[in-house]
Amino acid sequence: MARMKFLCDADRCIECNACVTACKNEHEVPWGINRRRVVTINDGLPGERSVSMACMHCTDAPCASVCPVDCFYTTDDAVVLHNKDTCIGCGYCSYACPFGAPQYPQTANFGTRGKMDKCTYCSGGPEQDMSQAEYVKYGANRLAEGKLPLCAEMCSTKALLAGDGDIIAEIYRERVVTRGYGSGAWGWRDAYGETVTV
């Protein structure tokens, strides 16, 4: 089984937001929720970089460790998923996440956040694979169809890479060696405890 990861090559990302749009459309993500977003650092300055960020599907995910109802689980592909039927919308996972991945459909006052929503690495939830029930709650299950997450597949500059961690790290490493610079695998140290060394 693969160890699925995301890697955003910030030196290639042009902030076109196609990944964001692809994600919203593929999963019919409700208004106000962005499972993926593009953050631009040093905006308008020399050295500006854009990074596409979503749930990084951490090793020893902090969200799972603080969840009071233990609704998180890790799939065989090392994707961190959660069960919306169990989720009570307490908000702890959003406190714990270093990447701002967990989000809620409603305004947060009086504990009425609703069920947490986040990136599923295009692999649905605990329901039957590719069922209607799964689609309504979590969106499409592309992994079950043998496909990779749509955000990375759609990326026009191939900045966003998805797939087995070792393979995408190798692709990134080759790029850095070839072009002579690289701003690093954003978020890897916090998500996986190791970064890509060139």
Partner 1 sequence: MSYLSKIAAILSLAFAVAVIAPQARAQVNPTAESVSEDALFQALGTEGVVSGRVSIPDQSAGNLIKPVNKDWALLHGNTVVTLSVLAVIGMLALLTAFYVIRGRIRVDSGLSGRTILRFNSIERFAHWTLASTFIILAISGMNLIIGKSVILPVLGEGAFGTLSAWGKIAHNYLAWPFMVSLALIFVLWVIENIPNKLDMEWIKLGGGLFKKGVHPPAKKFNAGQKVIFWSVIVGGAALSYTGFMLLFPSIAGSFTDWQFYQLIHALVAAGLSAIIIAHIYIGSVGMEGAFDAMGSGEVDENWAKEHHSLWVEEVKGGKSASGKGAATPAE
Residues within the interface to partner 1 (CB under 8 A): 10-11, 15, 17, 20, 32, 34, 37-43, 45-51, 53, 62-63, 65-71, 83, 85-92, 94-100, 107-111, 181-187, 189-190, 195
Residue (11 or 77) nearer to partner 1, CB: 11
Query: From the CB of 111, what's the least distance to partner 1, in Å?
Result: 5
User: Alpha-carbon distance 1 to 105, whole Å?
Assistant: 33
User: Alpha-carbon distance 191 to 198, whole Å?
Assistant: 19
Query: From the CB of 104, what's the least distance to partner 1, in Å?
Result: 11
Contact 51, 11 (CB under 8 A): no
Residue (15 or 77) nearer to partner 1, CB: 15
Residue in the block written with tokens 């109802």: 69
Characterise 81 by phi-psi region: left (phi > 0), alpha (psi -120 to 50), beta (else): beta
Residue (42 or 131) nearer to partner 1, CB: 42
Name the 3-class secondary structure at 14. Answer: coil
Query: From the CB of 44, what's the least distance to partner 1, in Å?
Result: 9
Contact 192, 169 (CB under 8 A): no
Query: From the CB of 27, what's the least distance to partner 1, in Å?
Result: 16
49: which 2 tokens?
Answer: 């970089």
Query: From the CB of 93, what's the least distance to partner 1, in Å?
Result: 9
Residue (2 or 183) nearer to partner 1, CB: 183
User: Alpha-carbon distance 29 to 137, whole Å?
Assistant: 9
Residue (89 or 142) nearer to partner 1, CB: 89
